[in-house]
Structure 1
């Protein structure tokens, strides 16, 4: 969807470059075909193409525009009917996290008192024992070449992300654990006190000499005290020296155990250090719990998952990141990159192998060689149909828009001017749940530029306005063909209650339909094409991204690599299937092939290889880029339903779309 991503958030600019478009057959109303055949007239065909941004946009190759049927004349001059009420309420707690710091434990030495003994000579015997433990802390296309006119291809471009790294509100502290040393001096005698001779005489070995000589010990008390002090100092110094010798000898003789302790300490510190906060949207905690627990156990990383509300989600996400309280990992829509350019951190280590994923996802989140999101799911727009109603009317599943229009007309049941059963839910805005996706698809298929829908081309005397033709084709289902109108119920509700035979919707609408009518049988098919030789489908899906302000970006991408692996995707799909009809469609090429044949989900992944996206994705609740552009298209369609000519609504539409694009740093070079 985008090519370049400006790394300077202050000067980022998304380019919607135009490229040459191929001509392709267009939608033709059956009545005009018959008239042309009856009059045996020659139909001059025309087509136009859009040139590359580096080429002259007004330069057209006439050879590419010949021999193409025209869809424009079929719908021009028709009366427009019915007024629609349009509104879409779109709207989406933040998770904070805590961190625990370890404290140090210090153990000092204990010198016990010693037993005293008295003998003729002073003797000192000491025995010391100590245990020392020390722990060291480490841690493209054809277009929807129309039934009105030929086409102009849309091409979406993005910009380069800029990232602002700011550490989250937690830091990592090392724990210092000093060795616990135990010393036992219980058997080490201290120096004995001097003998007391104050009241008695001490007999000498020679009785004769002893009788003649008497020592007065009191005169030597000062000398004995000095000797005692020196002995105590020697004991203390000797004890310290002994402990030091024991420590270094033990470390030298047992280095492996010391290394083992250090490794364990490093692992334990890593386990308590890294904590990732993860904001999800659509999946409840019970779907992810098993895979999160497995990762935590294997890697020592704490994952705090929170299922957020979709209401004001984008605004709350950006606000929390700005405040430093945002998540490390979060889900966002693939079209939000222009709005989140300074909030997304790339996979700088290239841990995720994006070649594993569907083409539609790679072209949106890989910008200038950097990956800014990884898909855990994929979704698009498909045709839901009631097989029983189709069989009764003898209608095959339509593959082209011409076949779709015929089927819708044949399936419509009216009573007077009232529609009893509608052939297809298309043509209005308020009661067609995903009208913007349908209209965006028509614009892309018709080679129109959604950023400049009023652009027209002249080739000789023939004028082609692919954007106008797409809007006319869409509204004619309500104003001319009358297969649907604003009086019908909401399209999803009408389909579930068998009031309409065909609708367009993403895969998750199957859950709503089954909730309304559990007994209804329905199937899906890829969206119709203008020509089956060159196809374009519409993608509308979500991805997981990493905050540019997360302190643990590398660890976050490592976790997303695990979460997006085929093994884990299967577990997530199975877990979700235990709660509902099926899990989120696989984004992996290999796994997508395993569900291609399924009645409901198969059509969505079968068309993923030629799907494109633009800023008209419904139900993103972004209150921004998508919703604001959709509002301008909604007003244009409603104006035409009310009777305004297409050339009257286009200037306001084009001006409004360009204003929104400029607001979010997306520029479109165009000329009328």
Structure 2
């Protein structure tokens, strides 16, 4: 069948190898030695006539100290008897404006009057490089937002959760399984997310109604609908309306996430991309352009094309929804779950950010107290309510206890239901990481492979190059074993 890539075999869909345990955040100095015990002096038994005067003396001194303290204390101004100075934590945020963060910060400060939060919204431009430099400096921010796939780059710059804050058990209980897989190494928790995002299928309702089509559930359904929905100029043969934005790397937004999802659904391990399933999946993806011609490179970027009714379907994250609404407020559309392979385990995709504490924070305990609060159901409900007021389609809470709030929004609901079976990898796109960083390098290898297949080059050779490139990059971050050196005859 030409419209279905392989059902997974016995292999289990691959996740990134567990992050090797990073160095401790606060190791003792190299010269540190435990104190040497001192032999106590021999004390002769004291007669009772010595003990009684001694006790009396202690009592007199105690009474004197108490009286002096009370006298002086009554003469001091009230501000001198405060329990301590107010601590201000610097919080480097991303994406969310201060108006959205203010209610949850106000609530924390009300509960913790000795701690103030200075929220500083950062520009996404060169964010990864700038935050790396900031964390390594003496004036490091206390709390920062990082992408979940950046942990291999930042683990040594972070202060893991102390024992009195968020535990690995709490994370595994209160959050989706992928959170534990990405943010916990051993028993160390490196951060917690406050929102989640993933992928869903965006559909033009009017186009589907005109063709009397139901929302697709499988990849076979998607391809069939795309063929029905596309429109071609009979004179020029030019595609005037695309069926779905899939098949190339040039103008399909989020294509790295989509291709990675398809490989995972086919049972391909992204740390070892090879075999018939990988070849068939890349061919299936490129066939949307080269064979079925339901999309092409003359169209605008897929999100813009969907908003302007140039394509009937796209696969995109939730954060694209406000952009679509702003471009075409009158557009009738909906979201449904991403397509799956028939008779196979459900596999979804996520890409999320998390809050962490810098290793050089001057107040790591207080910083983790704030992050722990952000992880709570109460805080995430406050944040979701504020985001809902700011925009129509807010990212759903990461804490499962308040996920039902987001499910009441029909556009957001398919994303929420996908998180329980969501996977991710270091090919997540639009993370704004540096061009020479982990994600960008892997995506470039994946792009070369997809383009090679679309140009009818040898698929096997393309996969070998892809797999070798992945192994080289991942090994540099300790995510897989280093590839064996080639031997010369």
Question: TM-score by structure 1 length?
Answer: 0.62
Q: Contact (CA 8 Å) 1:573, 1:582: kept in 2 or not?
A: no
Q: Contact between 1:523 and 1:600, CA under 8 Å: does it hold in 2?
A: yes
Structure 1: distance between partners of 2:139 and 2:63:
47
For residue 258 of structure 2, the aligned residue among 411, 415, 438 is 438
The match for 1:466 is 277
**Structure 2 match to 1:29:** 2
Q: Aligned match of 1:156 in 8, 13, 16?
A: 16
Instruction: Kindly state the Cα deviation for residue 526 of structure 1 after the two structures are TM-superposed.
Output: 1.0
Paired residue secondary structure (1:422): strand
Contact residue 476 and residue 482 of structure 2 kept, 8 A: no
Pairwise mapping of residues 519-598 of structure 1 onto structure 2 (< 5 A)?
Answer: 519-531=330-342, 533-598=344-409
Q: 2:218 aligns with which of 397, 400, 405?
A: 400
1:302–1:621 distance in 2 versus 1, CA, 3 Å: same
In 1: Cα distance, 2:243 partner to 2:120 partner: 42
1:629 pairs, out of 442, 458, 462, with 442
Q: Deviations over 1:636-658 (max 9, x none)?
A: 11222223131232222222212
**1:163: how far off?**
3.9
Deviations 1:95-136 (A, max 9, x none): xxxxxxxxxxxxxxxxxxxxxxxxxxxxxxxxxxxxxxxxxx
Q: Which residue of 2 aligns with 1:509?
A: 320
Indicate conservation of the 8 Å contact 2:149/2:425, yes or no: yes
Q: Tell me, yes or no, if the aligned pair for 2:288 and 2:294 is still in contact at 8 Å.
A: yes
Instruction: Tell me the equivalent position of 1:338.
Output: 152
With normalisation by structure 2, the TM-score equals: 0.84
Is it true that 1:324 corresponds to 2:135 in the alignment? no
Q: CA deviation at 1:597?
A: 4.3
1:165–1:645 Cα change, 3 Å: same
Structure 1 distance, partners of 2:372, 2:78, is 25
1:296 matched to 2:109? The reply is: yes
Moved more, 257-266 or 624-633: 257-266
Which stretch of the first structure deviates more once superposed, 338-347 or 566-575?
Answer: 566-575
2:165 is matched with 351
Q: In structure 1, how many angstroms separate the alpha carbons of the residues matched to 2:468 and 2:78?
A: 64
* 1:664 is the counterpart of 2:477: yes
Question: How has the CA–CA distance of structure 1 residues 267 and 426 changed in structure 2, closer, same or farther, with 3 Å as cutoff?
Answer: farther
What CA deviation, in whole Å up to 9, does each residue of 1:463-522 have, x standing for no partner?
xx2211111111011111111111111100010011111101110100110111111121
Which residues of structure 1 form unaligned runs of 5+? 1-27, 31-70, 73-143, 168-244, 457-464
On the 8 A contact 1:430/1:486 being kept in 2, the answer is yes
Instruction: Check if 1:311 corresponds to 2:131.
Output: no
Give the 5 Å matches for 1:159-174.
159-165=20-26
Kept in 2: contact 1:29–1:402 (CA 8 A)? no
Q: Supply the distance in 2 between the matched residues of 1:363 and 1:264 (Cα, whole angstroms).
A: 48
Structure 2 residues not aligned, in runs of 5+: 29-59, 485-489
Q: Tell me which structure has the larger Cα radius of gyration.
A: 1
SS at match of 2:222: helix
Match of 2:293 in 1: 482
